[in-house]
Each structure stands twice: as C-alpha cells, then as structure tokens.
Structure 1
Amino acid sequence: MRCPATVAVLRERRRGDRGEGMAAHQAEAVHRGIDYDAEVDTSVTARAELAASLCRRLGLAGSGVGG
C-alpha cells in the first residue's frame, strides 16, 4: 500500500501522533529496492475496494471476508 508523499504528510498531520516530517521522508524510502506482487494507491481507491482487491489477490473472494 502506498500513497503520494503529499497525502502521507496530510494524514500524518491529522493523526497528530507522528513525528512531523517522518511521512515525507518515508513515503518513497520504505519502498525503495522492493519488488511487490501487487500495489494499491490508498489516495485514489476507496477502502472497500482496497479490501476487495486484497481478498481477490489472496484468493478469499466469495469467502465472506471483507464483504
């Protein structure tokens, strides 16, 4: 799961329990050098669709998990 650094910074501010600047620093750094089987952008996809996508990817579609 990822989102643009600008979105991560806004979320960090809203939470109020994170050290300021951590989101901007980590937004891309935590993904550097990693090849993922699947990626989703949490800034443009609704939570229900994110959950459904994950369930499909894990073979849980139709199991009642995630709706």
Structure 2
Amino acid sequence: MLYRENGQFKTSYQADQQIFPIAQDRYLILALIAAAAIVVPFIASEYVFRALLIPFLILSLAALG
C-alpha cells in the first residue's frame, strides 16, 4: 500500500482486533461500498444488470450456502 501503520497506535485489545485496523482501509472500503450502492445503479446499463450483476449475485449467494 501507499501508507504505513506508523503513528496509528491502538489503546485497547478490541481496537487491535478490528477487521480493518488502519483508518485508511476503513475509509477506502466505505467509499467502495457507497460507490457500489449509489453510483453503479445510476450508470449501469440493462446489459450490465441482466448479464453481469444478477448472475454474480446468484453465484455469490450459492457460494455462501
């Protein structure tokens, strides 16, 4: 990555065991989720929905079991 963990000290055990312990990782994931939920539905064509996103969703749910 382009950043380091230097200067990001954890003050509790719970903070040390986070899924995304680095603040930049949390911000990036939140931005990606927001873009997927807000931007993609407005710019995607009908082809993208029917041929790509729906099969991806179905196969993802099947993989979860």
Higher relative contact order, chain-length normalized (CA < 8 Å, sep 6+): 1
Range of TM-score over shorter length: under 0.3
**TM-score normalised to the size of structure 1?**
0.27
TM normalised by structure 2 equals 0.27
